[in-house]
Structure 1
Amino acid sequence: MQFKTASIVKVAILANLLRQHATNGTGLSSYEDELASAMIQDSDNDAATALLETEGGNTQPDALFKRLGMTHSHMDSESWGYSTTTATDQLTLLKNIFYQSRVLTDSSRTYMQGLMNNIAVDQSWGITAGLTPDATVALKNGWLADKNGWIINSTGHITSKQSDYVIAILSNQTVSEDAGIDLVQQLAKATYTTLNAQ
């Protein structure tokens, strides 16, 4: 099932920018670095729009989707928050960031991991639910009020003494933001509990 991405698409926006730079043999400018940090860590929308402009427009990450085999993900040409994806495609992207990749360089992956490991405290919800003290989490959440209810998404990478996995929880049509977050966190907690059962 396809879902609207809301702000989780910002991970793909950054991944594609880094791919473009690697292809051209260049690195991020200080301005792009500043925008990338704001976009991932603070979920700054203006930063996302600005980075897409530097990439060549809203549909540029479609090239990344194609290279990664994310066949059910598509950028929206007018509003990047309405881009569409599936949980499976998001797992593909996350595996390329947190494990191995033939598309993203090691330095690009390390850079993205660092940002996702340091999300603003007020956005540390979703897949963080139910974690034990030994766990570490890298994440990017997305939330958006749509005409049919709230879109609440939470994606990332979790490690603990007993587990190491990527996770993507996508939802829509919830009656409120709080209800959507509660649903996502119930699923995240159940997943962590199951994978870490003694």
Structure 2
Amino acid sequence: MSVDWTWASVGATLAVLGLYEALLLLLRRWRPQRLASARHAGLREEWFRVVSAHKGSEVLAVQTLRNSLMSATMLASTAALALMGTVTLAAPSLHDDLASLSPRLVLELALLVLLFASLVSTVMAVRFYNHAGFIGGMPVESEARARWTAAGVRYVRRAGVLYGVGLRQLVLVVPVVSAMLLSASGPVAALLVVAVLYSLDRFNDEGAEG
């Protein structure tokens, strides 16, 4: 395969992923009601308000937040392991190719960026879920709980959004890896992954995934 065709395949792969991220950004800004992530963020806020208004819900709140915390922790661990493995395997080629830009170097850098973004997002999600857990464990009728409820609402929203971002970045790794193995497969894999993600990211009245 010629170098020009390889560059075209790599460029098309990254362009599809970049355009999808841009689309989500525009929808989140102008039509958030069409995104499952935005609607589910509202769901988490409402859930925290409800459990904060009912005495005896403290254990349920802590258990629910602990489950979310463990899920975010597992995702962060996966991203960390993948990032360390990628750095270990790519370090020699990165050192040799930095002098001259190549399609593989671009893909390796894109892979590192996606994994790093996933790691940071999920670690921050763990942080916010942890804080929300302390608030959710406070007695509902206590003065401290009333004082911290608004913060807890913000924390569960941020944690959920960050978890979704981290999960999406981890899924977007698939087309990049596919392009590294066979450059021509990159655009096809990117289109398939984006199509699946879009079906999960959009919200409809019958339900939503993601």
What TM-score comes out, normalization by structure 2 length?
0.24
Larger fraction in helix:
2
Larger fraction in strand:
1
The answer to which structure, 1 or 2, has the higher relative contact order (CA under 8 A, 6+ apart) is 2
Question: Highest CA radius of gyration, 1 or 2?
Answer: 2
What TM-score comes out, normalization by structure 1 length?
0.25
